[in-house]
Amino acid sequence: MHDPVARDLIARAHVDDLARAALGARISTRMAANSTMAASLASYRKLASGIFDPTRADLAMQIGEQAAIIWSEPTSAGAAAALGRLNSRFMAIAGGTCQMQRNTIGERILGLPREPSFDSRKPFREVLRDAQNWSGQIG
């Protein structure tokens, strides 16, 4: 390939793939070594998928250019890039958003305090009622 921009994007995708593989191996090793933390450590892998998948899909779309938007064969590389882009947000949402994974990592692995919650002991109907009447003051 002679396009320097495309070569740069391919290199970035390759580096991301290597980093993701190294992270996966490290997480697997730590999960095997500490079975009580395994479920919490899995949040790292889930978060990595939620971040790497959309980035990889965006790179594929940039590399594919027009072929990633308009294609003649449903099995073409352009079609695969477009489908990858459409599905890339799936792991960022399904099974808990990236923000939820960050909270799990912060609280269960790093030992950070839980985010303040002012409505955790209220029924949901009261939360909605209070939200409608909220003055903007906390406490």
Nearest to 66 by CA among 2, 16, 6, 17: 6
The DSSP symbol for 106 reads: I
Report the mean per-residue pLDDT for the chain.
86
Distance CA 50, CA 123 (A): 31
pLDDT at 21 over 90: yes
Q: Residue 41 in contact with residue 27, Cβ under 8 Å? A: yes
User: Alpha helices of 34-104 — where are they, by DSSP H?
Assistant: 38-64, 77-87, 90-93, 98-104
Nearest to 7 by CA among 70, 77, 15: 15
Only one residue has tokens 């590399």, namely 63
Structure tokens at 106: 């912060």
pLDDT for res 66: 80
Model confidence at 107, in pLDDT bands (50, 70, 90)?
very high
pLDDT at 97 over 80: yes
- Could you state, in order of their start, the residue ranges of all structural domains in the chain? 4-114
> Phi/psi class of residue 134: alpha, beta or left (left: φ > 0; alpha: ψ in -120 to 50)?
beta
Model confidence at 88, in pLDDT bands (50, 70, 90)?
confident
